[in-house]
Structure 1
Amino acid sequence: MKIGILGSGALGSAIGGVLTEAGSEVYLIRRSTEHVNVMNSKGLMLKEGTHERIVRVRAETDCTNIGHVDLVIVLVKSYHTKEAIENARPMIGEHTMVMSLQNGLGNEEIIGEVVGWQRVLVGRTYVGGVMLESCQVIVGAKGKHTYIGEQDGQITHRVNRVAEVFNRAGLSTTVSSNIMGIMWDKLLINVATGALCGITRLPYGGLYNVPEVKDCALAAVAEGIAVAKACGVVLSIKLPEEAWFRAAEGLPDNFKPSMLQSIENGMRTEIDFINGSVVRWGAKRNVPTPVNKVLVACVKGIEYEMGLGTP
Structure 2
Amino acid sequence: MKIGVLGAGAMGQLFGGRLQLSGNDVYFIDAAPATIQALNSRGITVESEGATSHTPVRAGTAADFTETLELIIVFTKSFHTEAAVGSVRHLISGTTFGLTLQNGLGNADILARAFTPERTLAGITDFTADLEQQGHIITGPGGKVRVGTWTGTTEPFLRRLVDILNKAGLNASAKEAIQEPIWEKLAFNAALNTLSAVTGQTVGQIGASAPARELVARVVDETIAVANTQGVHLSAERVDAALENAYLYAGEHKTSMLQDREARRRTEADYIGGAIVRLGEQSGVSAPVLNALTTLASAPIQ
Same structural fold, with TM-score higher than 0.5 when normalized by the shorter chain: yes
Tell me, in whole angstroms, the C-alpha distance in 1 between the residues paired with 2:76 and 2:23. 24
Pairing partner for 1:272 from 270, 273, 281: 270
The aligned amino acid for 2:46 is L
Q: Report 1:162-177 matches (<5 A).
A: 162-177=161-176
* Pairwise CA distance, 1:62: 2.1
User: Contact 1:27 / 1:58 at 8 angstroms: preserved in 2?
Assistant: yes
Mean Cα displacement is larger for which, 109-118 or 98-107? 109-118
Structure 1: runs of 5 or more not aligned: 307-311
Q: Does 1:288 align with 2:272?
A: no
SS in structure 2 at match of 1:8 = coil
Partner of 2:74: 74
User: Contact 2:197 / 2:297 at 8 angstroms: preserved in 1?
Assistant: yes
Partner of 1:192: 191
Query: How many residue pairs are counted as aligned between the two chains?
Result: 302
Tell me, in whole angstroms, the C-alpha distance in 2 between the residues paired with 1:286 and 1:82. 29
* Pairwise CA distance, 1:238: 4.3
Q: Does 1:123 align with 2:114?
A: no
Tell me, in whole angstroms, the C-alpha distance in 2 between the residues paired with 1:240 and 1:114. 32
The aligned amino acid for 2:266 is R
User: Contact 2:68 / 2:90 at 8 angstroms: preserved in 1?
Assistant: yes
Q: Report 1:26-37 matches (<5 A).
A: 26-37=26-37
SS in structure 1 at match of 2:129 = strand
User: Contact 2:73 / 2:100 at 8 angstroms: preserved in 1?
Assistant: yes
Tell me, in whole angstroms, the C-alpha distance in 1 between the residues paired with 2:126 and 2:46. 18
Partner of 2:134: 134
User: Contact 2:117 / 2:151 at 8 angstroms: preserved in 1?
Assistant: no
User: Contact 2:266 / 2:298 at 8 angstroms: preserved in 1?
Assistant: no
SS in structure 2 at match of 1:269 = coil
Tell me, in whole angstroms, the C-alpha distance in 1 between the residues paired with 2:243 and 2:127. 19
Q: Report 1:86-97 matches (<5 A).
A: 86-97=86-97
User: Contact 2:2 / 2:70 at 8 angstroms: preserved in 1?
Assistant: yes
The aligned amino acid for 2:57 is V
Q: Does 1:206 align with 2:199?
A: no
SS in structure 1 at match of 2:70 = strand
TM-score, with normalisation over the residues of structure 1?
0.90
* Pairwise CA distance, 1:241: 4.6
SS in structure 2 at match of 1:294 = helix
* Pairwise CA distance, 1:246: 4.3
Report Cα offsets for 1:63-99 as digits up to 9, x if no partner. 4423110100000111111111011111111111111
User: Contact 1:178 / 1:234 at 8 angstroms: preserved in 2?
Assistant: no
Partner of 1:309: none
Tell me, in whole angstroms, the C-alpha distance in 2 between the residues paired with 1:239 and 1:215. 17
Tell me, in whole angstroms, the C-alpha distance in 2 between the residues paired with 1:204 and 1:42. 30
TM-score, with normalisation over the residues of structure 2?
0.93
Tell me, in whole angstroms, the C-alpha distance in 2 between the residues paired with 1:176 and 1:28. 27
User: Contact 1:108 / 1:120 at 8 angstroms: preserved in 2?
Assistant: yes
**Distance 1:86-1:212 versus aligned 2 partners, 3 A rule:** same
User: Contact 1:101 / 1:122 at 8 angstroms: preserved in 2?
Assistant: yes
* Pairwise CA distance, 1:8: 0.8
Mean Cα displacement is larger for which, 120-129 or 212-221? 212-221
* Pairwise CA distance, 1:114: 4.0
Report Cα offsets for 1:264-301 as digits up to 9, x if no partner. 11001000111112112212322222222112222223
User: Contact 1:148 / 1:175 at 8 angstroms: preserved in 2?
Assistant: yes
Pairing partner for 2:297 from 296, 299, 304: 299
RMSD: 1.9
Mean Cα displacement is larger for which, 124-133 or 106-115? 106-115
The aligned amino acid for 1:218 is A
Mean Cα displacement is larger for which, 82-91 or 234-243? 234-243
* Pairwise CA distance, 1:245: 2.6
Structure 2: runs of 5 or more not aligned: none
* Pairwise CA distance, 1:208: 2.9
**Distance 1:139-1:195 versus aligned 2 partners, 3 A rule:** closer
Q: Report 1:145-160 matches (<5 A).
A: 145-160=144-159
Tell me, in whole angstroms, the C-alpha distance in 2 between the residues paired with 1:49 and 1:214. 28
**Distance 1:42-1:178 versus aligned 2 partners, 3 A rule:** same
SS in structure 2 at match of 1:128 = coil
**Distance 1:104-1:64 versus aligned 2 partners, 3 A rule:** same
Report Cα offsets for 1:165-199 as digits up to 9, x if no partner. 11111111000012100001111111222111111
